[in-house]
Amino acid sequence: MAQKSFSFDYESGVVCRIPDTLKDDAVRESDQVVVDIDHAKREHEKYILTLRKLKINLLELEADEEYPDCCFVEDIAVIHDGVALICKPKSPSRRGEVEVIKRVLSHDLGQHLVNIKDENALIEGGNVLFTGKEFFVGISPRTNQAGALALAKAFPDYNVATIQISGCIHLKSLMSMAGPGIIAIGQSEEAKKALKQIVHKANHDYETVTLPDDEAANCLYVNRTLIHCTEDEFPESYKIFEDRFADRVRIALPNRELAKVQGSLTGRSLLVGKKRKNPNMDDYRNNKLK
C-alpha cells in the first residue's frame, strides 16, 4: 500500500453560521442543558476569524434554522487529496445538511465527491481521525463498520483501522491531532482503551500528549498553528499545552457553549488541504464541472 504524508497545511474550507434553533433543538445528551445562544455565536465568530487569520479562504454558509446542528460541518464529509467522502449522519435531523455541503465542495472547492451506496452505512466526520498517514475510525452509535468500509474504499491508498469506543459519540471526543505525528488524548478509561487499540492497529508510530480532560483533547492543528482549549475552561490541560508546545504558535479558543450540544473545535469546520499535482484528477474535476 502506498503511504503518503500530510503536513496539515490548508488553503480553503467551509464553515456555517449558528442557527437560533441550536439553543433548543440541537442534538444533546440531556434536555436540561441550557445554551446561551448569543455567547455561542460569539465563540463561533472568534473561531471563524482565527481561521481567516491563518490564511484559510473560508466559504461561510448562512445559518439554516431548519437544521439546528448545521454549524458542525465536520460530520458531513471527510476530505483529503481532492476527494470528499460524503458522510451519512445517524440523526435524521441532520440529513438535510448534506446537499448544501455537497454543492459547495464540488462546485466551489473542486472536490471529487464520493457518495456512500450502502443504505445501512453510518459515518460522521467526528469519528474519523486522519493522522496524516492513516485513518482511524471510531465505531460508535453514530458510525458503524459499513461506514468505515465506505471510507476505506474512498481512500484506498491509506490504512484504515476501526476503533471501538464507548461513553462518547465520536472518536475525536477523546483525541485529535496536535501536530504531525502527535496525538492529544484524554485521560479517561474510554480514551485509554481507544489509544490501546490505535497502538495495536497503527502502521506508524505516534507521540502522545495526555490531558486530564477528554474534552480538551479535541484540538485543531492547522497551518503550523495549534488551536486548543482556553485556560478558563480547562486550566490543567491548558498548562500542559503551554508547557509541551512552548516553541509552537498556539491560539486558545473557547468552546464552552457549543460543548453543551457536543460541539468541538474540530467539528466546526471542513478544511481542504493544499492541492497536490495530480493531472488525471484535475482533468476529471474539470470535466465534471463543465
Per residue in 131-148, pLDDT tens?
999 999 999 999 999 999
| pLDDT for the residue 276 | 57
Tell the burial category of 86 from Cβ atoms under 10 Å away from its Cβ (0-12, 13-18, 19+): buried
The grid cell for 116 is 456512500
Reference 188, options 167, 209, 203; nearest CA is 167
| pLDDT for the residue 100 | 95
**If pLDDT is split at 50, 70 and 90, which confidence band does 284 have?**
very low
288, part of any domain:
no
Range of the domain at 42: 10-275
| pLDDT for the residue 289 | 27
282, part of any domain:
no
Per residue in 75-103, pLDDT tens?
999 999 999 999 999 888 788 999 999 99
**If pLDDT is split at 50, 70 and 90, which confidence band does 288 have?**
very low
| pLDDT for the residue 29 | 65
Facing residues of 80 across strands? 83
Q: Is the dihedral of CA 87, 89, 90, 95 positive or negative?
A: negative
284, part of any domain:
no
Judge whether residue 153 has pLDDT over 50.
yes
More confidently predicted of 25 and 164: 164
Which of the residue ranges 23-32, 140-149, 176-185, 193-202 would you say has the lowest mean pLDDT?
A: 23-32
| pLDDT for the residue 5 | 67
- Answer yes or no: are the C-beta atoms of 177 and 184 closer than 8 Å: yes
Q: What is the mean pLDDT of residues 38-42?
A: 98
Per residue in 10-24, pLDDT tens?
999 999 999 999 999
Distance between CA atoms of 117 and 135, rounded to whole angstroms? 20
Judge whether residue 181 has pLDDT over 90.
yes
Facing residues of 86 across strands? 77, 115
Query: How many domains does the chain contain in total?
Result: 1
216, part of any domain:
yes
**If pLDDT is split at 50, 70 and 90, which confidence band does 6 have?**
confident
Facing residues of 46 across strands? none
pTM score of the predicted model: 0.92
| pLDDT for the residue 274 | 80
Facing residues of 271 across strands? 13
181, part of any domain:
yes
Q: What is the mean pLDDT of the chain?
A: 92
- Answer yes or no: are the C-beta atoms of 79 and 107 closer than 8 Å: no
Distance between CA atoms of 20 and 68, rounded to whole angstroms? 8
Judge whether residue 3 has pLDDT over 90.
no
Distance between CA atoms of 261 and 22, rounded to whole angstroms? 8
More confidently predicted of 75 and 33: 75
| pLDDT for the residue 48 | 98
130, part of any domain:
yes
175, part of any domain:
yes
281, part of any domain:
no
Share of the chain above pLDDT 70, in %: 91
Judge whether residue 199 has pLDDT over 80.
yes
Q: Find the CATH number of the domain harbouring 234.
A: 3.75.10.10
